[in-house]
Amino acid sequence: MLNVQAADFKKPEFTLELAITGVGVDVRLNDISIEYE
């Protein structure tokens, strides 16, 4: 079973989304997506 944690922060100047799964981390800042595995 994968443990998924998601955090979504929204501000007028930027949007930050974090998704942590059992295989890595998916980070989205504005329109930039960064994945760590």
Give CA–CA dist 22/2, Å, rounded: 5
What is the reported pLDDT for 15?
63
What is the reported pLDDT for 27?
74
pLDDT per residue as tens digits for the range 4-22: 666 666 666 766 677 766 7
**Does the pLDDT at position 32 exceed 70?**
no
Give me the residues paired with residue 36 across strands: 25
pLDDT tier, 30 (very low <50, low <70, confident <90, very high otherwise): low
Note the residue count of the chain: 37
The Cβ of residue 7 has, within 10 Å, a number of other Cβ atoms equal to: 9
Give CA–CA dist 37/23, Å, rounded: 6
Least confident of 1-5, 9-13, 31-35: 1-5
What is the reported pLDDT for 1?
46
Alpha carbon of 31 to those of 1, 5, 14, 27, 37: distances in Å? Answer: 30, 20, 10, 10, 20
